[in-house]
Amino acid sequence: MQPLNTTPLPPKTTRAPRPRRRAAAAVAILAGLATLGMNGCDAPSGASAALEEASALMAQLSASASTPASREFARDSVYQRIVSTLEPVQGQGTETEQAAARLLLAQARIGLADQPFAEASAAQARVLNRVAIAQGSLSSYVRLGGHAAALERFDPRDTLADLRERTSRLDRERQDTIAERDELAAEIAGLREQAEARNDDARRLRDAVAEVRLRAARQTATEAAEMLAGVRGQTREADRLEMEGADLLAQADLLDPALNELRIEIERIEAQEGALVRAGDRVQATTARGTEDARTARDEADRVARDLATQIDELLRLHAEEAEPNIEETVSGLERAVSLANQAARELRSGARATAAQASQSLAHTHAQAASTLTRVAGFLESAASATPALPQADRYRRTASELRDRARTHREAAEAADQAAEEGFVAAGVRRGADEPALAGDYGDEWSDSGVVGTEDSVRDFLAELEAANSRGDMDFIADAIVAEGPIMERMVREMRPFLEAFARLNQITEDAFGRSFSEYLASPEAAQSGSMTAMMFADGAMTTQIVPDAGGGDAQIDVFGDEALVTIPGTPVPTRLRMRDGRWAILMSDDAFEGMEDMMPEGMLDAITDAYAPMARAMDDLAQRVERGQLESEQAVLTAFEGEMMTLMMRLMGGGD
């Protein structure tokens, strides 16, 4: 039976290789070899087969998270397949297998909660938008009622001047916002046009290079080498253009939310302007008609009251039919995830506790958001209930507001309980929170909001981008300094790993100089996969990767910051990456907790054998690089063949170390 790999290795990427990516596949390659050495034991049990299938599905999700099409990937259906695969085998297999199944189920439940949470958030946003509109109607109603009562003794000139001034101010605000919107829309369009132009240029270069390579394949080796040497610059230029295109598209995507906010703001201003125009018309009419106009104003107030009643009914219906079911579904799924992860923690400990804590924190946010929405709706209904003159349904609004206050209180209490569970879970998993920072922003008061932490998520993404850039350029000093090792096992592993990473980076540099692309890029290429190489096929399947540091996971990555520590969770990866602040900068935290339970998953002494293998592997990589420089390895395929020989030697050493 193939052992279940629960080691929290750095997450792999299926993103197309970037130029000059030279960081070595240290942990991933060696752990993959260890797994190869243990395959083919016993026929898998039902639980084992289900776990393998579910793990493969999770890997599929992980691969989709770093591709441009990830937003179109049907994640929910894959999560549901994981649930349907593992639910029937709960309670089967070994204790470790049962715990692993529960942990995967918890991750799937967390993933399945994303959609209803998003729909609940969108529905609650629509509810609050309706509240804002209804608030305008309520203001109009109160204004009209008061105006009708005092019409005969009221001089309307000040009121009309005020309405004109407010309308003029709103008109200026609207024009400024429209200009800002148009400028931002033009900027976004320009970025996308530039990106398309870069990609078009890159495609033309790729086509030209492909044509040269096709012709070179029919030439002698010397002629082919000369032909290929002439297109290396085109290949690098295409790489550069594609990277620029991707960066431009990313910049455009980052600006889209701001553009949507401006559009919503324009609609809000226009609605207010319309209300002011109507109010001005009404004031002028009442001024001209005196007492008769007072009656007209009251009639208009009645109409507004009817509109207001319809608006209130609609926002309450919207909350009951669209927000509440999704909130309940989200809460149910996350509570189930917490339960499953807590059960898994009996065996898998740190990873399961972190998952339970994440689910609890999401649960806290769900409850807190629901409490905030209910509180704002209740506050508006209380205003409507106390309006003068009294609205026809004032008593009903008062009762409903009281009910919503009670439900908001229940959600706040649930949020506090879930947040406390998250706090305790993160502590148990070894994740610390800042001493002066609350677990969740806000204090769960009547106007709870999640705006307490500002900019920290951006700082994490900036760090991950810097790390990936260092990975691409082979800056091993930066990468080594960006890792905090905790515990004797991990400290030794990181210390022994560094020479190997530096040697692999040198091999990448030399192969790029010799063949036009790094060895890492060749490993991930279709040509290498089609050569029949086992190593290349493992790279193509995602079983190996040359990336040892996590990327930002696109927009799908969830980043949770807790003072001087953070968790980065990329969809499809069961264990989050932990970060810690050190000297004012983020660093990846790699601790001995990563090896919890591994004693039962691999032969005795395997971890020591893996660590001991770094030094000979570094020497082997240096030897390969020197052979390329001396001209003894004249092609990428020759380097791959020699590399696989070194890998086989290492595998034999690992297997011998497990005897």
Q: Are 547 and 650 found together in one domain?
A: yes
Average pLDDT score over residue span 346-363: 85
- Residue 449: pLDDT band (50, 70, 90) is very low
**Model confidence pLDDT, tens digit, residues 467-510:** 877 776 667 677 778 888 888 888 888 888 888 888 888 888 89
Percent of the chain predicted with pLDDT > 90: 24
Q: Are 30 and 135 found together in one domain?
A: no
Alpha-carbon distance 286 to 148, whole Å? 8
- Residue 43: pLDDT band (50, 70, 90) is very low
Concatenating the DSSP letter of every residue in 222-242 gives HHHHHHHHTTHHHHHHHHHHH
Cα torsion 217, 220, 225, 231: sign: negative
pLDDT at 502: 84
Report whether 625 contacts 503 (CB < 8 A): yes
**Model confidence pLDDT, tens digit, residues 110-147:** 989 989 999 999 999 999 999 999 998 998 888 787 66
Q: Are 242 and 346 found together in one domain?
A: yes
In a domain, 95, yes or no: no
Q: Are 425 and 459 found together in one domain?
A: no
In the predicted model, is pLDDT for residue 367 greater than 80? yes
In a domain, 531, yes or no: yes
Cα torsion 323, 122, 274, 280: sign: positive
Alpha-carbon distance 122 to 98, whole Å? 36
Q: Are 211 and 297 found together in one domain?
A: yes
In a domain, 6, yes or no: no
pLDDT at 404: 96
pLDDT at 651: 67
Q: Are 35 and 173 found together in one domain?
A: no
Half-sphere exposure of 272 (CA within 13 A, CB side): 19
Q: Which are the contacts of 189, defined by CB distance < 8 A and separation ≥ 6?
A: none
User: Strand (E) positions, 263-363?
Assistant: none
In a domain, 21, yes or no: no
Report whether 551 contacts 561 (CB < 8 A): no
pLDDT at 41: 43
At 13, give phi and psi (nearest 5°): -130, 145
Of 352-361, 469-478, 551-560, the poorest mean pLDDT is in: 551-560
User: What is the average pLDDT score of the chain?
Assistant: 77
Q: Residue 342's closest CA among 331, 354, 330?
A: 354
Alpha-carbon distance 223 to 229, whole Å? 10
What crossing angle do the helices spanning 95-150 and 324-348 adopt, rounded to 10°? 150
**Model confidence pLDDT, tens digit, residues 56-104:** 887 777 666 544 444 444 777 888 888 888 888 887 888 888 888 888 8
Q: How many CB atoms lie within 10 A of CB 539?
A: 24
Alpha-carbon distance 291 to 285, whole Å? 11
Q: Are 416 and 281 found together in one domain?
A: yes
Please give the structure tokens belonging to residue 62. 């992980």
pLDDT at 495: 84
Which class for 158: exposed (0-12), middle (13-18), buried (19 or more C-beta within 10 A)?
A: exposed
Average pLDDT score over residue span 266-274: 86
At 170, give phi and psi (nearest 5°): -65, -35
Question: Which range of residues forms the domain containing residue 185?
Answer: 109-429
In a domain, 478, yes or no: yes
In a domain, 202, yes or no: yes
Q: Are 459 and 416 found together in one domain?
A: no
pLDDT at 606: 64
The H or E element spanning position 45 is none
Of 5-19, 252-266, 296-310, the poorest mean pLDDT is in: 5-19
pLDDT at 385: 93
In a domain, 550, yes or no: yes
Q: Are 470 and 392 found together in one domain?
A: no
Q: Which residue has the higher pLDDT, 437 or 463?
A: 463
Which class for 189: exposed (0-12), middle (13-18), buried (19 or more C-beta within 10 A)?
A: exposed
**Model confidence pLDDT, tens digit, residues 573-612:** 445 677 877 777 888 887 776 665 455 445 566 677 777 8
Q: Give, in order, the Cα–Cα distances in Å from 354 to each of 18, 34, 64, 591.
A: 32, 26, 23, 14
**Model confidence pLDDT, tens digit, residues 140-193:** 888 787 667 655 555 667 778 888 888 888 899 999 999 999 999 999 999 999
Q: Are 180 and 255 found together in one domain?
A: yes
Most confident by average pLDDT, 61-65, 304-308, 508-512, 566-570: 304-308
Please give the structure tokens belonging to residue 87. 């639910």
Which class for 588: exposed (0-12), middle (13-18), buried (19 or more C-beta within 10 A)?
A: buried
One-letter identity of residue 603: P
In a domain, 2, yes or no: no
Q: Are 498 and 413 found together in one domain?
A: no
Number of independent structural domains in the chain: 2
pLDDT at 402: 96
Q: Are 376 and 523 found together in one domain?
A: no
Of 195-199, 306-310, 322-326, 470-474, the poorest mean pLDDT is in: 470-474
Percent of the chain predicted with pLDDT > 70: 73
Please give the structure tokens belonging to residue 421. 């569970």
- Residue 220: pLDDT band (50, 70, 90) is confident
The H or E element spanning position 586 is strand 585-591
